[in-house]
């Protein structure tokens, strides 16, 4: 068994209502992501600023020079409400270009523009409305083609949590926690540079950080926990299991499931989110484990970053102390729209492939990304079926901006749940069919593999949606 990391870290955040623990003391509590300070100049309007800049951050037992939003790892939590009007300023204090992507939020591509580039020293205002029905966990990160992998690995990513308009916010409620999973590798106090092979397999690090902490503990104050997981890693997959407990999956990629799924494991590819309820039936300490998962990058493993070993890793510990209150399982959400029976307005095939050579390009339909080329043109208001085929040897998590999709089938086997997502993992040899609802906004945006090295090396295409 891995033991909990010893030694108190300065600056760690303590759970504010942590109940006394009967057994061993807890070394390090699961930090809350720092909250982004919001100004509310008038009713329904939210203003905030993100500054992308190098900063020295305590990572476990040492100081590291990272690239951060507002000096924190992960970036500060942007907590919004459906219907709010947001003015979010991004200031670039890096020495290279960056921009901001609001991953999972349905925002016009004219605002959430992956083609925008912000020079060092510049600021850009992102102004948008938080759409109805966007309650759930999303995130933000940079999206300048060719620079995403290094910027994300160095620390630039943060969570966005949207509350429903009719939901009372429960800030700092230990029963409802955002859990950001991000791996890191440090060399001489800085993020390890990409090695040649990292550009092929996707870069992983050996520090498996949970809200920026190593192997923290979450001391429950209720018997029912809601854990909102975000995989903000470049390339690492997390196959999550909680000792002696099942997960009740209530939302995926910020989309509520009408019918929760009870599962023993949750596989989270880069970019994916999963909201799970955990009912702690007994007192005790339970490890949240990352189980081994073969994503096909094994032939590339070895050396720094090749930490995906055969042993489960303890990501954190959940402690249920004696004598805490029971909490009723909340009723399921309203059933989501089901597009399974809807005829498709168009059917497309997208073939993901890996170049033969080391360092060779990653392609979609035989081509690497070209910002000047529209790969797919579609009409606003239609529903298309996309067949995503992986002809490579590695898993590729396929992601589409702006337009959510419903998973229909894998290799012909129908998906039994009504499952809406914005990232879907596609295994080698698999064909995943999804129904894409091209609604709300016209414009140009992108789809890509969310192993960001693959994205930077070409596995991305442009979708242009034109008004009907
Ligand atoms: Cu998080 Cu283009 O993606
Ligand atoms: Cu995205
Ligand atoms: Cu990929």
Query: What atom in ligand 1 is closest to the CA of residue 139?
Result: 1
447 burial type by CB count under 10 A (0-12 exposed, 13-18 middle, 19+ buried): buried
Beta strands in 99-211 (DSSP E): 101-103, 123-129, 136-141, 158-163, 176-184, 186-187, 190-191, 207-210
Q: Is the pLDDT of residue 6 over 50?
A: no
Q: Per residue in 149-181, is it b (16+ CB within 10 Å) or e — as a string?
A: bbbbbbbbbbbbbbbbeeeeeeeeebbbbbbbb
Beta pairing, strands 383-390 & 346-354: parallel
* Mean per-residue pLDDT, 129-137: 95
Query: What atom in ligand 1 is closest to the CA of residue 104?
Result: 1
Mean pLDDT of the chain: 90
Residue 456 CA to ligand 1 centre (angstroms)? 11
Residue 185 CA to ligand 2 centre (angstroms)? 24
ω into 74 cis (within 30 of 0) = yes
> pLDDT confidence of 26, banded at 50, 70, 90?
low
* Mean per-residue pLDDT, 273-286: 94
| Chain segment 225-265, per-residue pLDDT in tens | 999 999 999 999 999 999 999 999 999 999 999 899 999 99
Q: Both tokens of residue 315?
A: 């990501």
| Chain segment 184-216, per-residue pLDDT in tens | 999 999 999 999 999 999 999 999 999 999 999
Of 248, 298, 214, give the one whose Cα is nearest residue 27.
214
312 burial type by CB count under 10 A (0-12 exposed, 13-18 middle, 19+ buried): middle
* Mean per-residue pLDDT, 384-411: 98
* Mean per-residue pLDDT, 318-336: 83
| Chain segment 427-449, per-residue pLDDT in tens | 999 999 999 999 999 999 999 99
| Rounded Cα gap, residues 94 and 67, in angstroms | 8
Q: Is the pLDDT of residue 335 over 90?
A: no
Query: What atom in ligand 1 is closest to the CA of residue 103?
Result: 1
Residue 271 CA to ligand 2 centre (angstroms)? 8
Residue nearest to atom 3 of ligand 1 (CA): 103
Q: Is the pLDDT of residue 113 over 90?
A: yes
Residue 34 CA to ligand 1 centre (angstroms)? 22
| Rounded Cα gap, residues 315 and 208, in angstroms | 7
Q: Please count the other Cβ atoms lying within 10 Å of the Cβ belonging to residue 125.
A: 11
Q: What is the pLDDT of residue 172?
A: 53
Q: Pocket around ligand 1: residues whose beta carbon is below 6 Å from it?
A: 101, 103, 141, 143, 271, 399, 401, 448, 450
Q: What is the pLDDT of residue 357?
A: 60
Q: Could you say which ligand is closest to the alpha carbon of residue 230?
A: 1
What is the pTM assigned to this prediction? 0.92
Q: Compute CA distances 157 → 187, 209, 271, whole Å.
A: 20, 13, 11
Residue nearest to atom 1 of ligand 1 (CA): 103
Residue 14 CA to ligand 1 centre (angstroms)? 31
Query: What atom in ligand 1 is closest to the CA of residue 143?
Result: 2
Q: Could you say which ligand is closest to the alpha carbon of residue 103?
A: 2
* Mean per-residue pLDDT, 125-148: 97
* Better pLDDT: 407 or 356: 407
């Amino acid at each position: 068994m891995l033991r909990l990391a010893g030694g108190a870290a300065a600056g760690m955040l303590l759970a504010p209502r942590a109940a006394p623990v009967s057994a061993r003391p807890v070394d390090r509590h699961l930090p809350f992501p720092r909250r982004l300070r919001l100004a509310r100049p008038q009713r329904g309007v939210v203003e905030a600023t993100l500054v992308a800049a190098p900063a020295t951050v305590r990572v476990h037992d040492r100081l590291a020079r990272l690239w951060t939003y507002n000096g924190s790892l992960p970036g500060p939590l942007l907590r919004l409400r459906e219907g709010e009007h947001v003015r979010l300023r991004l200031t670039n204090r890096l020495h290279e270009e960056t921009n901001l992507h609001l991953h999972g939020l349905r925002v016009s591509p004219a605002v959430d523009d992956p083609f925008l580039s912000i020079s060092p020293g510049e600021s850009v205002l992102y102004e948008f409305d938080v759409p109805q029905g966007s309650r759930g966990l999303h995130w933000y990160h940079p999206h300048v083609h060719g620079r995403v992998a290094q910027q994300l690995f160095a620390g630039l990513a943060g969570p966005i949590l949207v509350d429903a308009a009719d939901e009372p916010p429960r800030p700092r409620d230990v029963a409802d926690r955002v859990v950001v999973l991000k791996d890191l590798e440090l060399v001489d106090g800085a993020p390890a540079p990409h090695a040649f092979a990292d550009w092929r397999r996707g870069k992983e690090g050996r520090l498996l950080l949970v809200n920026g902490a190593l192997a923290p503990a979450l001391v429950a104050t209720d018997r029912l926990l809601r854990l909102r997981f975000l995989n903000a890693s470049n390339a690492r997959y997390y196959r999550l299991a909680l000792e002696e407990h099942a997960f009740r999956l209530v939302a995926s990629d910020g989309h509520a499931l009408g019918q929760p799924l009870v599962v023993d494991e949750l596989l989270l590819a880069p970019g994916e989110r999963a909201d799970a309820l955990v009912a702690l039936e007994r007192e005790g300490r339970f490890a949240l484990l990352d189980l081994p998962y073969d994503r096909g990058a094994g032939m590339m493993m070895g050396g720094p970053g090749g930490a995906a070993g055969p042993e489960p890793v303890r990501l954190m510990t959940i402690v249920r102390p004696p004598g805490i209150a029971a909490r009723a399982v909340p009723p399921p959400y309203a059933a989501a729209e089901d597009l399974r029976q809807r005829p498709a307005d168009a059917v497309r095939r997208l073939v993901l492939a890996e170049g033969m050579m080391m360092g060779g390009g990653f392609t979609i339909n035989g081509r690497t990304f070209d910002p000047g080329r529209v790969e797919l043109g579609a009409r606003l208001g239609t529903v298309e079926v996309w067949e995503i085929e992986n002809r490579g040897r590695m898993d590729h998590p396929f992601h589409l901006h702006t337009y959510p999709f419903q998973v229909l089938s894998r290799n012909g086997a129908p998906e039994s749940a009504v499952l809406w997502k914005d990232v879907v993992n596609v295994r080698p040899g698999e064909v995943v069919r999804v129904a894409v609802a091209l609604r709300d906004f016209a414009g140009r945006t992108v789809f890509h593999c969310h192993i960001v090295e693959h994205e930077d090396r070409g596995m991305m295409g442009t979708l242009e949606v034109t008004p009907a």
